Every structure is written in C-alpha cells, then in structure tokens.
Structure 1
Amino acid sequence: MEKIKIGKIVNAVGLKGEVKVYCYTDRKEQFEELERIYVGQEAYEIKNVRYQGNVVILRLSGIDDRNAAEAQKNRDVSILESDLIRLPEDTYYVRDLIGIAVEDEADQPLGSLSDVLQNTSQDLYEIKLAGGKKILLPAVREFVISIDMENRKMKVKLPEGLLDL
C-alpha cells in the first residue's frame, strides 16, 4: 500500500523523546485519529499528541529520550493511503489534482496543473501551459468553473490579461 507524506520531523522536544512535526496538511488534528505513522520506512505507534502553535508534538513508541528523538530530525512522516480521511464533496487532495488537464471556458486545452501553492491566504493553482510557461490562478469559484476527477479535467475562467504576463 502506498505511503503518503503528511509532515516532517523538524526537531526534538524536551528530554523524554518527543518530536516536533511540521505538518503538510491543513488538519493537524488528524494525528489524534491515527494509531501509527511511518518515519522513513519504520512504523511507530503514536503514544501522545499535543500542539505548540502550528506544529505537532508527538510521543512515539520506541523513541524514549532526546538522543533518539534528535536522530529522527529531517525525516519524513507518512501514513498509509488507507489512513487518509474521507474529504467532503468538491474537496481534493493535492496529490490527486497534480497532472489534471486544464482547459478554458471554450473547452480549449491550456495545459496541466503542475502544483498547488498553499502558503497564501488562498490556494494558488500553478498551471503549466502547452508552451512550457507557468501561470498562477487563485483556486476560487470565480476562476475554477469545474473539476471533473473522473475524466481528469479542470475547466477555468482566466482573468483578463493573465496569459499576456
């Protein structure tokens, strides 16, 4: 079964082996619902979850002191695909959107979705145009008309002049 990256261990916390995890998802509370995570290829049972601002602090089985926690620094945190939560309608995982064909209102192909930037007030869709140029489109209903996951197509309305930049 495929593993999905959901974060990265960025540091050790305290002396009892806790690790600080930078979470790649917008729902850090999911760690409370998980029984285990994978650090690299190794599975660890989650013993405790707490928060420090926007990061997650985890106590994992088998990591019982600061040295063991520090040894995990900069390692990816993953879960099994089967542990992903079911999303509400019209909500998608970024990994499922990447590569989807993008077309304009007149059904003319523009290119494909190459990335989703999530560090702004709203998500931005990076669209790689047929000629290799990339544009950013706010992921809002005003510009995203429809997403058809079954046929892997996204229909968009581009703001006037965007292609001229």
Structure 2
Amino acid sequence: MEWYNVGKIVNTHGIRGEVRVISQTDFPEERYTVGQQLGLFKQGEKKPLLLTIASSRSHKNFILLSFEGYPNINDVESFRDGILKVNEKQLEDDKLQDNEFYYHEIVGCTVYDQDGKEIGQVKGIFETAANDVWTVKGIDGKDHYIPVVDEFIKEIDIDAKKIVIEVIEGLLS
C-alpha cells in the first residue's frame, strides 16, 4: 500500500498530548478532521502507527493535533520528527479539479523553460498566504523558488513528470 505525506510533527504542545504539525497538504480541513485516521511514520521504522485524530485546531503556522488513546505529553513525545501520511485509499475520495495535483505528483517532476532547457527538479512545496511555491533544485546546484501562478506555470504533465514554466528576469537568480 502506498502512503503519502500530509504533515510533519515538529514538537509537542502543552501537557495534554497535543503535537505541532507543519501541514504538507492542500486539504488540511479534510486531513486533520476529528475521526480521520493517519499513519505516523517514525524515523527508522517501516510500518506506520495508525492514529485517530481526537482534536484539531490551528495555532500560528501550525496545526495542533491530539490522538485518541494518547492523552498526555509523555504519550506523544516519541512522535516528534515523525511524518504523518494518508494511504492511497484515502486519496480515492478526493475530488480534484482540472489542473489540481497532489504534492506527491509535483515533487520529483523536472522543470523546463519554454525553450526546452532543463532548469531542475521540484524537491518541495511550501504554502504562502498568496499561493504555493515550488522549491526547485537547479541543475546549477542552487535552489530556485517558483510561485505557482498561471503567469509562470505553462504546462504540467504528471505522466511524463514534466513541468514547463515561463522564466522572467530575476526568477532564477
């Protein structure tokens, strides 16, 4: 079974078993709903620990979660640095619009300019208040940050793992 990242636990919060999560999903309202099941992948472990969300709330730039059966800080301290994932069956219920993609479909794609020159490979995505931004590891070894807006993104071919962008002055410097 395939598993897909939806967040990373970066710390505990308070003494009542809450953890701080950096969200890595476009569907936080669905992924972090009370009753939703997530797989926790701890460092060095192959099998997930299945967790059911008991509470969920936003706090600053984090999502604070607690899990059924883990009521205090001592229960969740070992979760730190773990990755929260959903399985492929949970993705089947999502209804993506045209030109919408999962993060895992974009990460790993090769980015080209409109002349076909390779720029690099998408290695990560982060959210801003305005739009998502792709972190592209350039063939020059530098990280480039591409705003995900229609003005720059010209073509996305998930099957070919290829993205074509319009490069304007200053975008890759």
Q: TM range, normalised to the smaller chain?
A: 0.7 to 0.9
Residue of structure 1 equivalent to 2:37: 36
Do residues 99 (structure 1) and 108 (structure 2) align?
yes
User: Which ranges of structure 1 fall in alignment gaps of 5 or more residues?
Assistant: none
Do residues 69 (structure 1) and 70 (structure 2) align?
no
Residue of structure 1 equivalent to 2:45: none
Q: 5 Å matches for 1:6-155?
A: 6-9=6-9, 10-15=11-16, 17-30=17-30, 31-32=32-33, 35-40=36-41, 41-84=48-91, 85-106=94-115, 108-120=116-128, 121-130=130-139, 132=141, 135-155=144-164
SS at match of 1:29: helix
Q: Aligned AA for 2:71?
A: D
Q: Aligned AA for 1:148?
A: D
Q: What is the CA distance between 1:133 and its match in structure 2?
A: 5.4
Q: Aligned AA for 2:14?
A: V
Alpha-carbon displacement from aligned partner over 1:13-64 (angstroms, at most 9, x marks no partner): 333x333333222442121175311222211222333333443333312213
SS at match of 1:71: helix
Cα separation, 1, equivalents of 2:18 and 2:137 = 41
TM-score (norm 2): 0.72
Alpha-carbon displacement from aligned partner over 1:77-117 (angstroms, at most 9, x marks no partner): 222132233322212122211232333334x2324433344
Alpha-carbon displacement from aligned partner over 1:107-150 (angstroms, at most 9, x marks no partner): x2324433344254433334445555554333221121111223
Change (3 A) 1:68 1:113: same
- What is the aligned length? 162
Q: What is the CA distance between 1:11 and its match in structure 2?
A: 0.6
Q: Aligned AA for 1:55?
A: F
Q: Which moved more, 1:36-45 or 1:5-14?
A: 5-14
CA contact (8 A) 1:113 1:125 kept: no
Change (3 A) 1:42 1:109: same
User: Which ranges of structure 2 fall in alignment gaps of 5 or more residues?
Assistant: 42-47
Change (3 A) 1:70 1:100: closer
Q: What is the CA distance between 1:68 and its match in structure 2?
A: 0.9
CA contact (8 A) 2:109 2:121 kept: yes
Change (3 A) 1:28 1:147: same
Compute the RMSD of aligned alpha carbons: 2.9
Cα separation, 2, equivalents of 1:154 and 1:61 = 41
TM-score (norm 1): 0.75
